[in-house]
Chain A
Amino acid sequence: MPAALLKYALSRKYPARHAFTRRRDLKKRYDVVIIGAGGHGVAIAYYLSKYHGIKDIAILDKGYVGGGNTARNTAVIRSNYLTEEGVRFYRESVEMFQGLSNELGFNIMFENRGQLTLAHSDAAIRSFRWRAEVNQHMGVRSELVDRKTIAELVPNLNLSEDSRFPILAGLWHADGGTARHDAVAWGYASGACERGAELHQCTEVTGIETKCGRIAAVNTNRGRIECGIAVQAVAGMSSIVADMAGIRLPIHSFPLQAMVTQPYKPLLGPLVSSPHVHVYIQQTSRGEFVIGGGSDPYALYNTRSTLEMKETLSAAILELFPFLGQARVLRQWAGITDMTPDYSPIMGESPVEHYYLDAGWGTWGFKATPISGKTMAELIATGRTPDIIKPFELERFYRFQQINEAGATAASH
């Protein structure tokens, strides 16, 4: 039993440590206002307050901390992307995840389980080889593996050659893993609050004021606050909030659905995904199977779930693991993904001075939480865009310099 738990056993009164800002009034002005208390927003506050000495921060959220896509994503962490810019960015994020519990003093339960993506066609093998070659070149552990290796990695996978879509090969990403998604937001938020940042939950931004092309103030349901700098980190609402600042983003928002089963004894270690049948699966440390898949085929801001998606996800997962037909679905839900034309995020400066964007997080936001927090904080503190996120500026769309990750994201979160 770890010593850290001793105090709970020995003290008479529960030694509570209030993790977040207690309810209080908003101040009239903050140096930095962060819109959105998801993983990204609170991570920005954490790095600003811990490494840049900026503590006069308000983090605003219309709901509760980590309650948007941080709560809804399926917690896949990987760096096996396709472009040089993408791999460099997500590689550093994965490295940060590995030490994040110790950085935060809060167990985010990162587990390096490895991720296996399945190829059912020679076209998929080609694109996997591309990713493996790029990844290896950049020091990321990815390799194209054959059926024999797949059978060793995931012995209970349906490798029958008679199945409807026989598995031909796979992309094994040994660096891939998972973590407790909520804990990432809580750990960052708690670290930021401890250093003086204020977290205001149930505080909805209703308008953004600019003056001479520069950010001036943010209006909320609890009053107006002036600010020197504002940043938006509102995955699922990016275009709506940007619109308040008069900024148009190249984003279409789609619901992405997932579901979870009851807990069962462990039988699946790695994360497995099949872009072909649009499904991915992992077994949590509680024993539940989390199953996700493709986006709804139409743009929508409603987080309702549909019967159709549950039916197709179930059919797809039974192609891979037919025996899971016995497992029972406990819950299904949806999140809103802000899809950009090139499946890469939009980070950095905006047309409004001192208003920064952390947007366009589609289906790849959770895995970028640490690196986004770190780099956006550096941008806010220094006014200079770090090289690693320079390629993701909004301006790239005006310059035809997209960072196209289409081949590395579809249904392989």
Chain B
Amino acid sequence: MTGINRLPEPFGSQVQANTVIQFQFDGREYTGMQGDTVASALAANDQWLLSRSFKYHRPRGALTMAGQDANTLVQLPADPNALADVVEIEDGLRVSAQNFIGSLTSDRLAFIEYFSRFLPVGFYYKAFFRPRGIWEKWARFFRSKAGLGVVDESCIARDYDKQYKFCDVLVVGAGAAGLTAAIEAGRRGLNVILVDENAALGGALNYTRLDSGGSRAAQLREQLVSETLSVENIEVMTRAIVNGWFADNWVPIVRGKRLFKVRAAEVILCTGALPQLAVFRNNDLPGIMMTSAASRLMHLYGVRPGRNAVILTSNDEGYACALDLLDAGVKIRALVDMRRNAGETPLTQAVRAKGVPITESSAIYSARRSGNHLAAVEVREVVAQGRLSETGNQISCDLLCMSVGHMPAYQLACQAGATLDYHDNSSQFSISNLPAHLQIAGMVHGYADMDAAIKDAKRAAVIAANSVGNTNEEIPLTDNGATPSETVNFDWPMFAHPKGKEFVDLDEDLQMADIINATHDGYEHIQLVKRYSTCGMGPSQGRHSALPAARLVANETGRTIGETGVTTARPPFAAEKLAHCAGRSFYPARRSNMHYRHVEAGATMLQIGNWYRPAHYGDDKRTAVESEAQAVRNDVGIIDVSTLGGIEVRGPDAAQFLNRIYTFAFLKQPVGRARYALMTNEAGVVIDDGVACRMSDDHFYVTATTGGVDRVYQSMLKWNAQWRMQVDLANVTSAYCAVNIAGPKSRQVLQRLCPDTDLSSEAFPYMGVRTATVAGIPARLLRVGFVGELGFEIHAPQHAGEALWDALLDGGQEEGIRPFGVEAQRLLRLEKGHIIIGQDTDAMSSPAEVAMSWAIAARKPFFVGNRSIRDLAARPQKRALVGFEIRCSAAPVPKECHLVLSDERMVGRVTSSAWSPALQRTIGLAYVPADQTAPGTSIEIRTDGGVMVSATIVPTPFYDPDNKRQDL
């Protein structure tokens, strides 16, 4: 035997008696059966207490046995806040309880509830702030008590992933309605995915008693399940939760460690209804549960839910449960029916016939506990809405089963935009205003009667089939005549007690008075009630508190329950792990074709956007950068510039298009020439630069910055969507690799590898563009000079990168060729006074401020930003980017973004700065006030630690001011 509460077969359809499993709960060993959840195995061993509540640390046990309440949250290794009534036991599983100090049975924080009068609704808004500053101390205290489970920081959830799926019809929920909808849709040839969170198909048919004999549910289940399995095009997913609804039937399903993302043409929600709480004093004790929870314990897990039971009901479900309990050998001390007249149905008759004492027109006034479990209830007569007689009967019991009403599982439908209406005659909410291609069927649609629910599912399936197949099959009607048994909700199952503790929201320990007092404090809108009282904010997201809160608030504020409504249902339906949402993270890294050559050569790699680039070769940054720079200045160096953006612009309007996108003039640009291309946004701010190479009349190859190319390409597409010019645009960044060979000996090296093209200064001048073959590789050659030496950019098919790199290094051995990295390039360009967009510019930099007015073709009729640039030109310029130098070698080198101060005021900032080995002084660029740019002007820079350094404004370029070296 695995526990003293085990029942013999046929109870326990989900568990296998012959497979015994050992696990731990709170340090004690327990045994359960294969198929048991943690909660069911513990219940079998008479362990009902599972957790301590959020605020008052009250003892709590399973309420729904369906993973719908927060009472069952337990700690697993690396899985805090796991649902004990969902997680199945495994051998050696170690489970602990959460949120207590001391032990679960005797929590040292349980005293808090005796201070509940000091803790009225929103108490933390009303105190703890005098004197000023004291809250921070209280906050630390409250924080230390907050939270439930413990996140194990040493455990990383791995192996989560995602999968896409498509179907004609997604049926959510595999109860009688869901199975029927799937069968009917499947038989009509549609591809169906049928999803259910439970292990077995059939939903409530697995545990609910439909008739007095007790055989109908099983027969119906058997019939529907075998039909479902016989239809080929139904894919069944069990233990899977449809966890949200997003626009256009985009539906996430969580199963195991996988998140399925399903696009469904039609969705049919057969999500059923969630049983609701009766609200009375101590309605949260372990031993008090929904009738469906008791039924689940018996039928699914073979666990007797108690020995002496009281049933509180307002519908036939209580009677069905009574028959099941009797079958399981449970004594029924009383069946308390809140209705005035229980009526004569086969179920009520059967219960009466068994001699169960039935008390009509009565309810429970309070429950009493012994230890941490229910010991007795007091039954009183209902005299008016929410009011009971002055005296009543104490009945001792260890189990109370409640069935006082349902709330349709509206969450997914409402995420899709559906709305809720309240019906006073049936005392329940119904769902309306569903979007197209989404339907509800069965219990969620208000059909509690099994036959009606099945008919309703057929209706939904036919509508879905008509929509998918564009057919006109006649839509069968659902039986709309409400029978007495369909009215399951009692209109006011809430009874205040002078001593309180009648819980409306178990997650947050909110009593009736808390909700009522929130409205008296002025928080009358249901959303304000939620925010002020925290009702519905806990782990079960108001599954049980929404309906009673709506009723209480309506009553207090003189509105109808429909007007009051419930708070917005937001995804996800059930709490889902961040690991599920993340899956395998997708942060692609981009490496040039030459990447591993840099690594082999000992490069330190630098991440720029998604790209890796060589910063410098060798460990010591300073010596590496100096010697690399020296090689370029004196001999020849190569740098991998594959990450530079490349965009092909082709078509009859190519030149015209560039003329609008960039500030320069391109119409008369000759083929075989490159032009500097500066891009501004509509505000006239510099946002990118590159060169535009005219390959033929209607073909330009445009480069862009590494970090900017995606934005540039996107903005080109955006503009052309408006302009509709005759151009094709392609971002070919990753199709090309590129190497810049620079230095006085670069021509010598390249010419040797490039016999088919004359590289001489006459044949191939500065800013020329050629197509050529380099070491047998077809390439585009651009004669440009970012670093200020004679140089060529070689753009070749990306797969040839390594071969090109090797050929250049081999071919230049004689000249002492060596690779240089981004750091050396930054230094070399700074020596030339060339700016880097994004470093030397900011979100306000106009071309004039960065001395780029020469790159504006002012007479063009239009380019993006031209109006702003014109307007700006008419106003006084505020600041300018200038070069500065610091001759004193002992002075600290300012860092980028150190401030320029004048009389303690911020007047500018450094954007680039470095010690130049070639010039033997510190040089840099800085913004200064536009009226203080004259060479020779002294500026004050505040460096690290507040050390002030004087610098002198000097003209740029710092190095080779006449640009002779790049023109060689």
CB distance from A12 to the nearest CB of B (A): 10
Q: Which residues of A contact B244 (CB under 8 A)?
A: 307
CB distance from B926 to the nearest CB of A (A): 12
CB distance from A48 to the nearest CB of B (A): 20
| Cross-interface CB contact of B119 among A5, A202, A304, cutoff 8 Å | A5
Cross-chain contact B683 with A341 (CB below 8 angstroms): yes
B146 proximal to A (CB < 8 A): yes
Cross-chain contact A262 with B81 (CB below 8 angstroms): yes
Q: Which residues of A contact B541 (CB under 8 A)?
A: 330-331
Cross-chain contact A133 with B897 (CB below 8 angstroms): yes
Cross-chain contact B157 with A325 (CB below 8 angstroms): yes
Cross-chain contact B570 with A285 (CB below 8 angstroms): no
Cross-chain contact B898 with A133 (CB below 8 angstroms): yes
B803 proximal to A (CB < 8 A): no
Q: Provide the B78-113 mask, 1 if CB < 8 A to any CB of A, else 0.
A: 111100000000000000000000000000000000
CB distance from B513 to the nearest CB of A (A): 7
Residue of A nearest to B904 (CB): A137
Cross-chain contact A285 with B139 (CB below 8 angstroms): yes
Cross-chain contact A122 with B80 (CB below 8 angstroms): no
Cross-chain contact B151 with A264 (CB below 8 angstroms): yes
**Which of A14-22, A24-32, A222-230, A367-375 sits within the interface?**
A14-22
Cross-chain contact A111 with B139 (CB below 8 angstroms): yes
Q: Which residues of B contact A277 (CB under 8 A)?
A: 587
In the bound complex, what is the Cα–Cα distance between A332 and B252 (angstroms)? 14
Number of interface residues of B (CB under 8 A): 100
B723 proximal to A (CB < 8 A): no
Q: Which of B129, B250, B525 has the most CB of A within 10 A?
A: B129
Q: Which residues of A contact B157 (CB under 8 A)?
A: 323, 325-326
| Cross-interface CB contact of A267 among B139, B153, B516, B531, cutoff 8 Å | B153
In the bound complex, what is the Cα–Cα distance between A247 and B906 (angstroms)? 35
Q: Which of A129, A286, A307 has the most CB of B within 10 A?
A: A307
CB distance from A400 to the nearest CB of B (A): 6
Q: Provide the A47-70 mask, 1 if CB < 8 A to any CB of B, else 0.
A: 000000000000000011111000
A392 proximal to B (CB < 8 A): no
A314 proximal to B (CB < 8 A): yes
**Which of B169-177, B299-307, B835-843 sits within the interface?**
B835-843
Q: Which residues of B contact A402 (CB under 8 A)?
A: 683, 844
Q: Provide the B554-588 mask, 1 if CB < 8 A to any CB of A, else 0.
A: 00000000000000001110011111111101110
CB distance from B120 to the nearest CB of A (A): 4
A112 proximal to B (CB < 8 A): yes
Q: Which of B149, B154, B581 has the most CB of A within 10 A?
A: B581
| Cross-interface CB contact of A102 among B132, B517, B906, cutoff 8 Å | B132
B875 proximal to A (CB < 8 A): yes
Cross-chain contact B149 with A265 (CB below 8 angstroms): yes
Cross-chain contact B899 with A4 (CB below 8 angstroms): no
Cross-chain contact A329 with B531 (CB below 8 angstroms): no
Cross-chain contact B155 with A326 (CB below 8 angstroms): yes
Residue of A nearest to B247 (CB): A304
Residue of A nearest to B123 (CB): A5
Q: Provide the B131-166 mask, 1 if CB < 8 A to any CB of A, else 0.
A: 110011001001110111111111111101000000
| Cross-interface CB contact of B246 among A6, A267, A307, A317, cutoff 8 Å | A307
In the bound complex, what is the Cα–Cα distance between A326 and B156 (angstroms)? 8
Q: Which of B79, B81, B115 has the most CB of A within 10 A?
A: B81
Cross-chain contact B115 with A323 (CB below 8 angstroms): no
Cross-chain contact A5 with B539 (CB below 8 angstroms): no
B942 proximal to A (CB < 8 A): yes
Cross-chain contact B843 with A262 (CB below 8 angstroms): no
Residue of B nearest to A102 (CB): B132
Given contacts A19-B521, A134-B906, A190-B522, contact A126 B120 (CB under 8 A): no
In the bound complex, what is the Cα–Cα distance between A89 and B872 (angstroms)? 26
Cross-chain contact B586 with A315 (CB below 8 angstroms): yes
In the bound complex, what is the Cα–Cα distance between A39 and B839 (angstroms)? 37
B860 proximal to A (CB < 8 A): no
In the bound complex, what is the Cα–Cα distance between A205 and B517 (angstroms)? 30
Cross-chain contact A4 with B151 (CB below 8 angstroms): no
Cross-chain contact A263 with B147 (CB below 8 angstroms): yes
Cross-chain contact B139 with A201 (CB below 8 angstroms): no
| Cross-interface CB contact of B525 among A64, A285, A322, cutoff 8 Å | A64
Cross-chain contact B124 with A107 (CB below 8 angstroms): yes
In the bound complex, what is the Cα–Cα distance between A306 and B129 (angstroms)? 39
Q: Provide the B931-947 mask, 1 if CB < 8 A to any CB of A, else 0.
A: 00000000000100000
A379 proximal to B (CB < 8 A): no
Inter-chain CB contacts under 8 Å: number: 279
A327 proximal to B (CB < 8 A): yes
Q: Which residues of B contact A190 (CB under 8 A)?
A: 522
| Cross-interface CB contact of B156 among A16, A17, A202, A323, cutoff 8 Å | A323
Cross-chain contact A263 with B148 (CB below 8 angstroms): yes
Q: Which of B80, B125, B155, B868 has the most CB of A within 10 A?
A: B125
B520 proximal to A (CB < 8 A): yes
Cross-chain contact B607 with A121 (CB below 8 angstroms): yes
Cross-chain contact A314 with B578 (CB below 8 angstroms): yes
Given contacts A107-B127, A134-B899, A264-B150, contact A9 B118 (CB under 8 A): yes
In the bound complex, what is the Cα–Cα distance between A202 and B901 (angstroms)? 52
| Cross-interface CB contact of A71 among B152, B531, B684, B898, cutoff 8 Å | B531
Interface size of A as a range = 35 or more
B13 proximal to A (CB < 8 A): no
Given contacts A121-B608, A263-B54, A264-B81, contact A325 B125 (CB under 8 A): no
Cross-chain contact B527 with A64 (CB below 8 angstroms): yes
Given contacts A133-B909, A264-B81, contact A307 B578 (CB under 8 A): no
In the bound complex, what is the Cα–Cα distance between A330 and B571 (angstroms)? 8
Cross-chain contact B838 with A325 (CB below 8 angstroms): no
CB distance from B847 to the nearest CB of A (A): 14
B354 proximal to A (CB < 8 A): no
| Cross-interface CB contact of A407 among B139, B843, B871, cutoff 8 Å | B843
Q: Which residues of B contact A134 (CB under 8 A)?
A: 899, 906
B491 proximal to A (CB < 8 A): no
In the bound complex, what is the Cα–Cα distance between A19 and B529 (angstroms)? 13
Cross-chain contact B843 with A329 (CB below 8 angstroms): no
Residue of A nearest to B148 (CB): A263
B528 proximal to A (CB < 8 A): yes
Cross-chain contact A107 with B129 (CB below 8 angstroms): yes
Residue of A nearest to B531 (CB): A182
Q: Which residues of A contact B119 (CB under 8 A)?
A: 5
CB distance from B814 to the nearest CB of A (A): 35
A406 proximal to B (CB < 8 A): yes
Cross-chain contact A328 with B81 (CB below 8 angstroms): yes
B117 proximal to A (CB < 8 A): yes
Q: Which residues of A contact B909 (CB under 8 A)?
A: 130, 133
Cross-chain contact B572 with A332 (CB below 8 angstroms): yes
CB distance from B590 to the nearest CB of A (A): 12
In the bound complex, what is the Cα–Cα distance between A16 and B517 (angstroms)? 7
Cross-chain contact B577 with A400 (CB below 8 angstroms): no
Give residues of chain B (213-248) contacting chain A, Cβ–Cβ below 8 Å. 244, 246-247
B25 proximal to A (CB < 8 A): no
Q: Which residues of B contact A123 (CB under 8 A)?
A: 608, 707, 838-839
Given contacts A14-B517, A317-B578, contact A264 B147 (CB under 8 A): yes
- Contacts A121-B607, A287-B148, A400-B684 aside, 19 further interface pairs with beta carbons under 8 A come to A1-B118, A4-B127, A102-B130, A102-B132, A107-B126, A120-B607, A137-B906, A186-B125, A187-B125, A266-B143, A304-B247, A326-B151, A326-B157, A326-B579, A328-B576, A330-B572, A331-B541, A332-B571, A400-B683
Q: Which 10 A-B pairs have the closest CB atoms?
A: A287-B147, A325-B157, A325-B579, A19-B522, A16-B520, A314-B581, A328-B575, A4-B127, A130-B897, A101-B129
Query: 11 A-B Cβ contacts within 8 A?
Result: A5-B119, A64-B527, A66-B531, A101-B129, A102-B132, A111-B136, A133-B942, A164-B585, A264-B80, A265-B148, A406-B843
Which A residues have a C-beta under 8 Å from some C-beta of B?
A: 1-6, 8-9, 14, 16-20, 63-67, 71, 84, 98-99, 101-102, 106-107, 109-112, 120-123, 126-127, 129-130, 133-134, 137, 156, 164-166, 180, 182-183, 186-187, 190, 201-202, 261-267, 277, 285-287, 304-307, 310-311, 313-315, 317-319, 322-333, 341-342, 399-400, 402, 404, 406-407
